[in-house]
Structure 1
Amino acid sequence: MPASQLLTFRAMAYNNGWANHRLLTACARLGQAEFEAPRTGFFPSLQATLNHILVIDHFYVDALEGGRLGPAAWDDPVPHPSVAALHRAQAAVDRRLVAFCEALAPEGLDAVTRVHRQDHVQEERTDRLLLHLFQHQIHHRGQAHAMLSGTAIPPPQLDEFFAAGEAPLRARDFEALGWSEATVWGR
């Protein structure tokens, strides 16, 4: 397996954390009532949508780490009602996902991850599970982005993927996250 594949998954984990940070930072400017307000989307509010992202991240990141959390991950569909608490919890699981991707060896992407479902244990290749998780995040962040567009808070740009020439535009976010370009790219 080429080292570039490992770098791609690592960069995707960092990009995922960066996008979550940007979106939750914007949502922090909303009042609690606006955060909870009914909106059009798969989930009925920004609060429900962003908590869903977190809950599913707990489910899959636990599985990637070899855990057995399974469906207990979604026992509470809104574990963090406030943006501040949600932002902290999301940042923590994002760091776990980054650490997992940082530690991957070439054979790790082909390894089988056991996902504890309600009535069975699903065995899935790790690379496929990571791609599924990233796609899930992108899908629901897009919905939250659209919901945020219906408020007075402008939604942040989320469709960027670390273009080299745009490093100065993300420097403040990276500083807040404790990252650098070298951290992301391993150089």
Structure 2
Amino acid sequence: MIEHYRDLSGYNAWANQRLFNAVQALSDAQKTMDVGGFFGSLNGTLNHILVGDLLWLERLEGEGEKPASLDAVLHERFDDLWRHRQNVDHRLGQYCSALTDDKLDSFLDYKTSAGIPCHDNIAKILTHIFNHQTHHRGQCHHMLGQLDIAPPPLDIIYYFRENPE
């Protein structure tokens, strides 16, 4: 299973790169336009994905940024958001590269943003992290179409084809 999470980490960074390349073509007004997404705009949604990852990495690593809310906008400027995204994708990759079977089988005690105590398996947490990103990238994919930008293919099979083992 370790290789599975390493694959998901690689896919995650690849898909984020493709998505950010597409969003970069938009004006600042289009990036922040409320197009009816759960977090309103592309900027709001991309910030939310980053917030979620930062919260999970702080729990998993025991250090790092801990945004105050799930809808926090950490970066208004797209370039700053992209740099931060790349840094976090690198951290996720490093975390997955250092995984062991014992670590995957272990459990993490933490509190949710609402203060609810939890005791969850690390492998399931990692599955959630990568699934969460895929879910919200799908929303961004739809928003790009609403803004008349052809969304890039983000299916994981394309990643595997571009990155054979």
* In 1, Cα distance between equivalents of 2:81 and 2:152: 18
Among 15, 18, 35, the residue aligned to 2:14: 18
**2:75·2:81 contact (CA, 8 Å) conserved in 1?**
yes
* In 2, Cα distance between equivalents of 1:160 and 1:119: 34
* In 1, Cα distance between equivalents of 2:70 and 2:37: 21
Deviation of 1:146 after TM superposition, in Å, equals 0.1
* In 2, Cα distance between equivalents of 1:67 and 1:114: 14
Q: Secondary structure at the match of 2:109?
A: strand
Deviation of 1:67 after TM superposition, in Å, equals 3.3
Q: Secondary structure at the match of 1:123?
A: strand
Gaps of 5+ in 1: 168-180
Structure 1 window deviating more from structure 2 (45-54 vs 60-69): it is: 60-69
Structural RMSD (CA): 2.0
- What is the TM-score when the length of structure 1 is the normalising length? 0.80
Deviation of 1:153 after TM superposition, in Å, equals 2.3
CA change 1:75–1:132 in 2 (3 A) is closer
- What is the TM-score when the length of structure 2 is the normalising length? 0.90
The 5 Å alignment of 1:127-166 reads: 127-161=123-157, 162-163=159-160, 166=161
Deviation of 1:94 after TM superposition, in Å, equals 0.8
**1:66·1:114 contact (CA, 8 Å) conserved in 2?**
no
Deviation of 1:68 after TM superposition, in Å, equals 7.8
Among 40, 44, 47, the residue aligned to 1:51: 47
